[in-house]
């Protein structure tokens, strides 16, 4: 091929490439809700090279994971969680800002667009609150009676904080029923599993979870003065929260 022809050839190949990307992009934006749901379900049901389990295996196909001891940690509930919050966390896992053995490197196999699709999908699922949940199931060995006491103490601290100890009210940011507040990027907490809540509050307190650093460090500040008992009680209350009054 002469220089002239190869330049034309490259030009054609290039414009074809542009045309085909823009076609895909248009298709994506015109995808119907059911197509988007179908795509997202495929993404969370498959395993990619770095994953041993699919996302659904740990988090449930609808983002409502079972309470189980099968893995080292309890997987959090994702159903109904704020989409921007989920996207931010997934990108943090991908870049290594947030780390956990269970999801080590898994997200490197997903594009940022796929992670957004997954986040949108989980945010649209309905949070399932098990009315028959035994509150003592979450691996702490304790009785239902003890749990009730924890829930009462946790509720008080959640609602009013404790100004004598410099603890802000959790409710002021996360809302009365733990619905969260997307304007200040505070996630939904409603009925989140106690074992996960305890673990993640400890992680903020000890500085191993730093995903709030870029948005103001609210959780590192909010957990500084908490005792281990406070954390246990808050987690018991959060798990017991119900969307119905």
* Residues engaged in binding ligand HEC (CB under 6 A): 51, 53, 55, 57-59, 71, 73, 75-76, 78, 86, 88-90, 100, 102-103, 106-107, 118, 167-168, 170, 172-174, 184-187, 189, 197, 200-201, 211-212, 215, 218-219, 222, 234
**Which one, 118 or 151, has the nearer CB to ligand HEC?**
118
How many whole angstroms separate alpha carbon 153 and alpha carbon 234? Answer: 8
**Which one, 90 or 151, has the nearer CB to ligand HEC?**
90
CB of 58 to ligand HEC, least distance (A): 3
Contacts of 174-177 spanning 24+ positions with Cβ under 8 A: 177/241, 177/242, 177/243, 177/245
Closest CA to 96 of 85, 107, 87: 107
SS3 186: strand
CB of 168 to ligand HEC, least distance (A): 4
Q: Is 239:187 a contact under the CB 8 Å cutoff? A: no
**Which one, 16 or 121, has the nearer CB to ligand HEC?**
121
Helix-helix angle 194-206:228-240, to 10 degrees: 140
CB of 88 to ligand HEC, least distance (A): 6
In sequence order, which residues have a C-beta less than 8 Å from that of residue 47 and are 6 or more positions away?
53, 54
CB of 32 to ligand HEC, least distance (A): 22
**Which one, 6 or 182, has the nearer CB to ligand HEC?**
182
């Amino acid at each position: 091929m002469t220089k002239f022809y190869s330049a034309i050839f490259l030009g054609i190949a290039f414009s074809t490439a542009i045309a085909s990307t823009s076609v895909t992009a248009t298709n994506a934006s015109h995808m119907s809700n059911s197509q988007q749901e179908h795509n997202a379900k495929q993404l969370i049901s498959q395993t990619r090279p770095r994953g041993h389990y699919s996302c659904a295996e740990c988090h449930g196909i609808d983002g409502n994971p079972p309470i189980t001891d099968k893995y080292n940690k309890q997987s959090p509930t994702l159903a109904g969680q704020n989409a921007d919050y989920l996207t931010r966390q997934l990108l943090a896992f991908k870049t290594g800002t947030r780390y956990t053995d269970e999801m080590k490197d898994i997200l490197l196999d997903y594009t940022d667009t796929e992670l957004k699709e997954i986040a949108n999908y989980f945010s649209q699922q309905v949070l399932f609150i098990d009315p028959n949940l035994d509150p003592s199931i979450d691996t702490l060995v304790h009785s239902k009676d003890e749990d009730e006491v924890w829930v009462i103490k946790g509720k008080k601290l959640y609602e009013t904080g404790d100004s004598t100890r410099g603890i802000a009210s959790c409710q002021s940011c996360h809302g009365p029923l733990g619905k969260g507040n997307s304007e200040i990027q505070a996630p939904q907490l409603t009925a989140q599993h106690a074992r996960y809540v305890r673990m993640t509050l400890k992680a903020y307190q000890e500085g191993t979870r730093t995903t709030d650093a870029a948005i103001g460090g609210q959780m590192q500040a909010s957990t500084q003065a908490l005792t281990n008992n406070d954390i246990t009680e808050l987690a018991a209350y959060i798990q017991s929260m119900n969307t119905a009054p």
